[in-house]
Copies of this chain bind each other. A is one copy, B any other.
Amino acid sequence: MDETTIIPANPKGAPLSVDDFRTRLAEISADLPRRLRQCADFVAANTDRIAVSTVAELAVGADVPPSALMRFCQIMGFSGFSEMQRLFREAYSPGWPDYSTRLKNLKEEGAGSPSALLAEFIEAGRLSLEALAKTADEVALGRSVGLLAAAQTIHVIGLRRAFPVATYLAYVFEKMAVPAMLHDGVGKLDHRFAMRPGDALLAITFAPYSEETLALAQDAKSRGLPVVALTDRMTSPLVRLSDAVVTVPEVDFGAFRSLSATIAMAISLAVAVGSARG
């Protein structure tokens, strides 16, 4: 290498800044044996704790013996933990800007900038979650869980903007070994006849309500299957087709839902159903 290189590529030297540290971490963590990988992952997720923790504490957090953490420090290029910690102690500036200050900073990037948008969506999500906490109807939620837990197969439908929620539910059900079927409309195939007596339908739709979802709910109802609705308000056309209705208040920003509250509700429903089933 050309020795006139002013800033040394620092191939094996210790990282000199937190940024440097992150880069190095990303570089090496591609192929790492098990314990060292645990260290890397934990450190990546808890970088801020390094400055105020001992080797032993971090080791417990990463679920490795202290000596593994020492080896990790060394392959990161430090002589040991103390040297690594010094980097973070010097860079330590406590009290990240608190949540609201930070949001203001993000917004000040200028209207329409990615950061400003992010701030808006974060705020929308948080408002939605707070509203949900205040308005959640425990009785309706309990009844919904009961209906779904008693079903043989749970059919899930949610299209367009509700589709992400439906796919997440399908994922969670699968992880919990709950028999569930996602009606996704692929190939315009209509799997309504997959719904058998003893099954239940979980239908998700928000204004403007999706025709296909309403149609499937109608079908389930007319065949006497229990229908659980996850929708935006009690005036939703889904309500009169359903045996239990869970509503979720969601703050829209522009044309788009934050989905935070909806997903929190969906996941609670799914996990509750999963544990009710054993």
Contact = CB atoms under 8 A, between A and B. Distances in A.
Interface of A: 22, 25-27, 29-30, 40-41, 44-45, 48-49, 51-53, 89, 92-97, 99, 102-103, 106-107, 109, 112-115, 117-122, 124-126, 129-130, 132-136, 138, 141-142, 144-145, 160-161, 163-165, 167-168, 171-172, 175, 186, 207, 232-235, 237, 239-240, 249, 253-256, 258-261, 263-265, 267-269, 271-272, 275
Contacts of A94: 48, 51, 92
Closest 6 CB pairs of A and B: A164-B164, A29-B235, A114-B272, A118-B268, A260-B260, A164-B168
- Dominant secondary structure at the A interface: helix
A125 B256 CA distance: 18
Q: Which of A45, A106, A232, A268 has the most CB of B within 10 A?
A: A268
Contacts of A168: 161, 163-164, 259
Contacts of A249: 45
